[in-house]
Structure 1
Amino acid sequence: MKAPAWGAVLSMALCVALLIASEFMPVSLLTPMAEGLGASVGQTGQAISISGLFAVAASMVVTTVAGRLNRKWVLVGMTAAMLVSLVLVAAAPNFTVLMIGRALLGICIGAFWALATAVIMRLVPAADVPRALSLMYGGQAIAAAFATPIGSYLGGLFGWREVFWALAPLVAVNLAWLVMALPSLPASQTQGFRSMLDLLKRRYFLIGLVASMLSWGSAFTMFTYLRPFLERVTGADVTLLSLLLLVLGCAGFVGTWASGRFVKGNVARLLRLPALLMGGCTLALLFLGGSAVAAGLFLALWGAMNTAMSVIWMTWMSQNADDAPEAAGSIMVAAIQASILLGAVVGGLLLDQFSITATFLASVALAVAAVALTGDGRRLLKPAISL
């Protein structure tokens, strides 16, 4: 076996950070973006849902469309497309152009994430996959820690467009690093729609897929509309908002460290933990979110589990669909992005038609469903694996 390509893993971690920052930057800029584009806050929240919609489509077809293409150049191409999407969003003269840029970003997100876990499995030995995943998702923690609070603060100082312009040179640097760091990754085998259908026929995989969708749906029904909650319930101004988002994001480093250290072997017992803890924090915010201190505490717990959730579920996938990792990655990414899409849509409708409380209650309800379906996790394992 070749030596682990940790440099390539780190380059993918930076790509993850930029993808997450680009995808969810509207969360911290939702109000000024809505004002600048002449749209409602709920409508502008669909800038997240449109990227989710196209990410779903891209993740389902990327392994088929890419065919025998070298996976290195597929990832490089998606990073270049991310750069184009940022330019479109930053320069958008109207809501339509903004949505086009966000749609292109969705394609990048779907294709990258569909291949990411399978690529990680080829870069390091099997025993190091959880650690490599935690490093890659460390990019998610970096974005969560710094992108949204800095975006909120800089958006208040210079404007939301300048925030997106600032991301562009970082993506250009990452593009060059990926070209240098990633080894050649010829397509080992084509895993198209037939492989996906075969996976969906496996009862344990289907149950796990639905449980993961409920977990992410719960998370992003809440997270997409976190800024309106903090503004209306906690009474946060731009400075306090940036501080609370920074607390949430920094806690993500704790979740990344913990998942890299403790997510080993059979992960069945950990699968219900993200929905249980994050749903509990969302419920607590409804009762105690008027206090900035209490809000900061619950957001810290939520943020730590948010980054750990990705490592936990993707480790489950790598262990229980190891015979078809690209097909499984496509399905998982499509399911997660569909959950983000529906969370943003439903949350926005509830916010516009009722209140932010209704949005957060919907998030809690999805978390309860996820915990109930997951149970102790044993029925989400391959028949050959036992506790």
Structure 2
Amino acid sequence: MKKSIYIMALGAFGIITTEFGIIGIMPAIAKHFQVSIDTAGWLLSGFALTIALTGPFSVLLTSKINRKVMMCLVLLTFVLSNILSAVSPNFTVLMIARILPAFLHPVFWAVATVAASKQVEPKDAPKAVSVVLGGLSVATVLGVPITTYIADLINWQASFIVSGIINLIAFAALLAFVPSMPVIENQSVKSQLVILKKGQMWVNLVATMIMIAGIFATYSFLAEYLGKISSMNGKQISLMLLLFGATGIAGNWVTGLALSKNVLLTTRFFLLSLIAVHMLAYTFGGLFIPMTAIIGIWGFIHTGGFLIGQTRSTAEAPEAPELAASLMVSFGNAGVTLGTFLGGMIITRFGVHEVIWISILLLVLALGLTWVFVGRKVPAADPETPVEITEEDVVEEALGV
């Protein structure tokens, strides 16, 4: 793997620490500004909703700008956002500070994943993309637990400062060590928009949105769940989030290997496993030791969802990979918004323990969509005998396997 791929993974680590680091410090922020936990949840869902609504437009509008310049601009924006968040005098200013970098967030993901895949042989593309997405896994291992621990040790403002420093280091590394990436292919907007006619891509995007919603309906409030149901203190919650992310690194790697063998089978097994682990968390959430083991298993499964969504969504549109990647990011973040909103609503009405059931319902629905296939017909050896191309064939062709 080229050094620049790992640096882009560091950038991914920085922006995900900013996006999801709020999960661990949400209870502290809600207490400080005297707002409800579901209102504080908008610091995550508002960020994600902005990405969902603006992602494809941001990518199209910046498609002709040097890719290194764009990634540097994104990371610098995240640095400034964290500084403003740390000094926010009220919840409204904090909300604005959180939303500002969300406009450029999908640009980084679209550029980094496509750039990584183009820097290696086609057969190694899934591995290269999984390295960049590994930055997400590492963010859940170190970023989220660190911000949670810093908030418990000092205050929540210090957590934003730490996130800003992480983004600043990633910015400096990208600026110093990644070569210039001028846009060589002069693709028109119209030629890229052709992919919007692909029915199976839309099926996969909707399935990804529902899957991510199922994941985040509970995960967005995991710190609250562990505090209220498992009776853990701040340091114990930090350790649980660290365990969650640590097993997630291994899970991301295993998911990448499994996807290279069979995409649909991996997707279905992932969803079934995640449904099972949510049921275990509901049953044994009040017991410290069993919940510790469940968190480890949960983290191992959880992180693979992003790689699954990326693979299934973007493989349908190899002729416009950055736009396809941005659509996946938009639908994925729409899932974060939907999941966080539904989770907050369930918590407000029924209590935090019952939030798990909305996750299970959404994950079951996503599982059902894996059997929905918008087929295509192409001429076979005998022009009168059409052959159906399956999703598996499309994914394998796009990944070069």
Q: Indicate whether the TM-score tops 0.5.
A: yes
**1:300 Cα deviation (Å)?**
1.5
**1:291 Cα deviation (Å)?**
1.2
What is the rounded CA distance, in whole Å, between the counterparts of 1:303 and 1:287 in structure 2? 17
**1:84 Cα deviation (Å)?**
0.7
**1:189 Cα deviation (Å)?**
3.5
**1:106 Cα deviation (Å)?**
1.5
Q: Does 1:325 align with 2:309?
A: no
Alignment of 1:340-379 (within 5 A): 340-375=336-371
What is the rounded CA distance, in whole Å, between the counterparts of 2:7 and 2:367 in structure 1? 34
**1:191 Cα deviation (Å)?**
5.8
Instruction: Compute the TM-score of the two structures, normalised by the length of structure 2.
Output: 0.89
> In 1, are the aligned partners of 2:112 and 2:132 still within 8 Å (CA)?
no
> In 1, are the aligned partners of 2:281 and 2:291 still within 8 Å (CA)?
yes
Q: Does 1:114 align with 2:129?
A: no
> In 2, are the aligned partners of 1:9 and 1:120 still within 8 Å (CA)?
yes
**Comparing 318-327 with 205-214, which one deviates more in the overlay?**
318-327
Flag the structure with larger Rg.
2
Tell me the equivalent position of 1:18: 14
Q: Does 1:123 align with 2:123?
A: no
What is the rounded CA distance, in whole Å, between the counterparts of 1:102 and 1:384 in structure 2? 35
**1:266 Cα deviation (Å)?**
4.6
Alignment of 1:1-387 (within 5 A): 6-187=2-183, 188-190=185-187, 192=189, 195-196=192-193, 198-264=194-260, 266-375=262-371, 380-381=391-392
What is the rounded CA distance, in whole Å, between the counterparts of 2:367 and 2:63 in structure 1? 37
Superposed CA RMSD in Å reads 2.2
Name the aligned partner's letter for residue 243 of structure 1.
L
- Going from structure 1 to structure 2, the CA distance change for 1:385 and 1:261 (only over 3 Å counts) comes to closer
> In 2, are the aligned partners of 1:282 and 1:360 still within 8 Å (CA)?
yes
What is the rounded CA distance, in whole Å, between the counterparts of 2:260 and 2:140 in structure 1? 24
> In 2, are the aligned partners of 1:58 and 1:111 still within 8 Å (CA)?
no
Alignment deviations for residues 317-375 of structure 1 (CA, whole Å, 9 cap, x no partner): 45332121012112111100111011111211221222223321111100000111113
Tell me the equivalent position of 2:385: none
> In 2, are the aligned partners of 1:145 and 1:246 still within 8 Å (CA)?
yes
- Going from structure 1 to structure 2, the CA distance change for 1:356 and 1:328 (only over 3 Å counts) comes to same
What is the rounded CA distance, in whole Å, between the counterparts of 1:384 and 1:45 in structure 2? 35
What is the rounded CA distance, in whole Å, between the counterparts of 1:299 and 1:376 in structure 2? 31
The gaps in structure 1 that reach 5 residues or longer are none
**1:21 Cα deviation (Å)?**
1.0
> In 1, are the aligned partners of 2:59 and 2:106 still within 8 Å (CA)?
no
- Going from structure 1 to structure 2, the CA distance change for 1:365 and 1:384 (only over 3 Å counts) comes to closer
What is the rounded CA distance, in whole Å, between the counterparts of 2:314 and 2:157 in structure 1? 39
What is the rounded CA distance, in whole Å, between the counterparts of 1:66 and 1:89 in structure 2? 26
Name the aligned partner's letter for residue 16 of structure 2.
I
- Going from structure 1 to structure 2, the CA distance change for 1:239 and 1:90 (only over 3 Å counts) comes to same
**1:384 Cα deviation (Å)?**
9.3
The gaps in structure 2 that reach 5 residues or longer are 374-388
- Going from structure 1 to structure 2, the CA distance change for 1:313 and 1:189 (only over 3 Å counts) comes to farther
Name the aligned partner's letter for residue 358 of structure 1.
E
**1:261 Cα deviation (Å)?**
4.0
Instruction: Compute the TM-score of the two structures, normalised by the length of structure 1.
Output: 0.92
Name the aligned partner's letter for residue 199 of structure 1.
I
**1:123 Cα deviation (Å)?**
2.1
> In 2, are the aligned partners of 1:10 and 1:136 still within 8 Å (CA)?
yes
- Going from structure 1 to structure 2, the CA distance change for 1:147 and 1:193 (only over 3 Å counts) comes to farther
**1:244 Cα deviation (Å)?**
1.3
Alignment deviations for residues 76-126 of structure 1 (CA, whole Å, 9 cap, x no partner): 111110111101111111011101111013123222123332222222221
- Going from structure 1 to structure 2, the CA distance change for 1:172 and 1:276 (only over 3 Å counts) comes to same
> In 1, are the aligned partners of 2:117 and 2:126 still within 8 Å (CA)?
no
> In 2, are the aligned partners of 1:87 and 1:165 still within 8 Å (CA)?
yes
What is the rounded CA distance, in whole Å, between the counterparts of 2:161 and 2:298 in structure 1? 29
Kindly, what percent of the aligned residue pairs are identical? 26
Provide the aligned length of Structure 1 versus Structure 2. 382
